[in-house]
């Protein structure tokens, strides 16, 4: 043991890198502003910092940071299925970056949730007081457990550089963690949608559906590759690292298959409930619904199965459209679909925006830091190099 360095000493002696660029300086500023607003909110309460009210108890933080954030972070479990369970080795180059995005996404979701709860010192309560009839109970447990699992999964990457003596233990635990780490998100991606099942008389019929959970699940799965396209597009520029087109194209096609399934289920569901005519009614809800499906699903399907997906431009367009469509979908469920029944007025306050933007900036900075210091983008699974 004495030959081994202490873990803290090893962390202290490791040569950490963090390159300063203009973008990163701006991000740091936004992150600082966000943190300041978060402290203000925790100290003063929700009324001072937000525009939430009795008619609109859930706003930007739940809609964007939680519902959308979790879905966009869904790339992790989708990739885990393809790479680590089905052993499709071709997709290995994107596995780690997808999982890192996912981990950071979940940490931010937890932070966003923490901001949104009124009695924040009471956050642990559902661990002991089991409101098991609530869909939110499933969301809470699964998100907590999955974040823990992801941190442990990241341990395998972390111990390549620091705390190397624990590396083998993490490596051994990985297959079990992977499978547990797929079951949890499968459950709670769908339960996030199912949160709205109880609002049967409030959510506009274009979005309320007995299959709401399934829709959220499928869309979180197919948005994964889209996020990877966007992310590798950005990371490629920042870190001069390019993922081969055929790898991305393969993923985009898997995504496309699930989008066709999603579209078919949507059409079946709408006609089954007899509300198909609402789609072309020309009102706000109908138009937003058309926009969401057209830009976020139908056009991307065309891109995925045409020659467009063999160019980087096409892949990034696909990524932007699908991710954008998903954000629109979640916003429609939280805001557009509820506005007629809730009435009143809500637009996020400057502080709500600042916190959301701050959290995203923190995420991007953390990604850059980790990508610079650990084997995320370039790692060779054949030889298990300890250093790169």
| Cβ distance to other proteins smaller for residue 123 or 353 | 123
Token pair for 143? 């998100």
Least distance CB 174 / other proteins (angstroms)? 11
Closer CB to other proteins, 187 or 301, in the complex: 187
Interatomic CA distance for residues 153 and 387, integer angstroms? 19
Residues 146 and 184 sit within 8 Å (Cβ to Cβ): yes
> By C-beta, is 195 or 315 nearer to other proteins?
195
Burial of 87 (0-12, 13-18, 19+ CB in 10 A): exposed
Q: Where on the chain is the footprint of other proteins (CB under 8 A)?
A: 43-48, 52-55, 57-58, 81, 84-87, 89-90, 92, 116-123, 125-126, 129-140, 175, 178-180, 182-183, 186-187, 190-191, 194-195, 197-202, 210, 213, 341, 381-382
User: Residue 138 or residue 292: which is nearer to other proteins going by CB?
Assistant: 138
Residue from 243, 244, 289, 254 nearest 270 by CA: 289
Q: Token match 């000493």: residue?
A: 9
Q: Which residue reads 């809609």 in tokens?
A: 63
The minimum distance between CB 116 and other proteins, in angstroms, equals: 7
The CB-of-207 to other proteins minimum distance in angstroms stands at 14
Comparing CA positions, the residue from 283, 258, 270 lying closest to residue 339 is: 283
Distance CA 335, CA 182 (A): 29
Annotate 55-86 with b (16+ C-beta within 10 A) or e (fewer).
ebebbbbbbbbbbbbbbbbbbbbbbbbbbbee
- Least gap, CB of 245 to other proteins (angstroms): 16
Task: Please give the C-alpha separations between residue 252 and each of 67, 69, 98, 221, 309, in angstroms, as whole numbers.
Answer: 23, 20, 14, 11, 8
59's CB contacts (< 8 A; 6+ apart) are 50, 51, 52, 346, 348, 352
Distances (CA, A) of 282 to 30, 117, 233: 39, 37, 36
Nearer to other proteins by Cβ, of 83 and 316: the residue is 83
Structural tokens at position 156: 């395998």
Question: Least distance from C-beta 314 to other proteins, angstroms?
Answer: 25
Token code pair at residue 325: 């469509």
When the beta carbons of 136 and 366 are compared against other proteins, the nearer one is 136
Q: How far is the CB of 115 from other proteins (least distance, A)?
A: 11
Coil vs helix vs strand at 243: coil
CB 4 to other proteins: min, Å: 31
Nearer to other proteins among residue 130 and residue 280 (C-beta) = 130
Percent of the chain as helix, strand, coil, to the nearest 5: 75, 0, 25
- The minimum distance between CB 57 and other proteins, in angstroms, equals 4
Per DSSP, which regions of the chain are E strands?
A: none
Q: How far is the CB of 197 from other proteins (least distance, A)?
A: 4
Of 65 and 231, which has the nearer Cβ to other proteins? 65
- Cβ nearer to other proteins, comparing 184 with 318: 184
| CA–CA dist 299, 328 (Å, integer) | 15
Q: Is the Cβ of residue 123 or residue 239 nearer to other proteins in the bound state? A: 123
Q: How far is the CB of 56 from other proteins (least distance, A)?
A: 9
């Amino acid at each position: 043991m004495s030959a081994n360095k202490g873990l803290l000493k090893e962390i202290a002696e490791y040569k950490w890198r963090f390159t300063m660029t203009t973008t990163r300086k701006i991000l740091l500023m936004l992150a600082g502003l966000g943190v300041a607003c978060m402290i203000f909110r925790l100290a003063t309460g929700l009324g001072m910092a937000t525009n939430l009210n009795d008619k609109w108890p859930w706003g930007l933080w739940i809609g964007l940071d939680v519902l959308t954030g979790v879905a966009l972070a869904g790339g992790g479990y989708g990739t885990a299925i393809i790479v680590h369970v089905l052993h499709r080795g071709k997709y290995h180059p994107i596995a780690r970056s997808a999982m890192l995005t996912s981990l950071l996404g979940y940490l931010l979701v937890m932070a966003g949730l923490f901001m949104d709860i009124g009695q924040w010192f009471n956050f642990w309560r559902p661990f002991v007081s089991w409101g098991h009839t609530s869909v939110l109970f499933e969301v809470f447990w699964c998100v907590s457990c999955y974040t823990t699992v992801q941190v442990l999964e990241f341990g395998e990457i972390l111990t390549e550089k620091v705390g190397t003596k624990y590396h083998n233990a993490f490596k051994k635990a990985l297959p079990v963690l992977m499978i547990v780490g797929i079951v949890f998100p499968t459950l709670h991606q769908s339960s996030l949608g199912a949160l709205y099942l109880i609002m049967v008389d409030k959510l506009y019929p274009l979005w309320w559906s007995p299959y709401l959970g399934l829709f959220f699940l499928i869309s979180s799965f197919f948005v994964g590759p889209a996020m990877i396209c966007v992310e590798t597009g950005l990371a490629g520029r920042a870190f001069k690292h390019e993922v081969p087109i055929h790898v991305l194209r393969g993923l985009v096609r898997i995504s496309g298959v699930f989008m066709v399934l999603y579209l078919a289920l949507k059409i079946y569901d709408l006609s089954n409930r007899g509300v198909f005519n609402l789609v072309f009614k020309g009102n706000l809800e109908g138009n937003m619904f058309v926009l969401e499906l057209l830009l976020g699903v139908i056009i991307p399907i065309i891109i995925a199965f045409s020659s467009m997906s063999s160019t980087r431009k096409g892949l990034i367009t696909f990524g932007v459209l699908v991710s954008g469509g998903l954000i629109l979908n979640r916003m429609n469920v939280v805001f557009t679909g509820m506005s007629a029944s809730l009435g009143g007025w809500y637009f996020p306050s400057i502080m709500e925006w600042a916190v959301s933007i701050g959290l995203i900036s923190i995420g991007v900075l953390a990604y850059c830091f980790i990508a610079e210091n650990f084997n995320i983008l370039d790692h060779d699974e054949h030889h298990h190099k300890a250093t790169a």
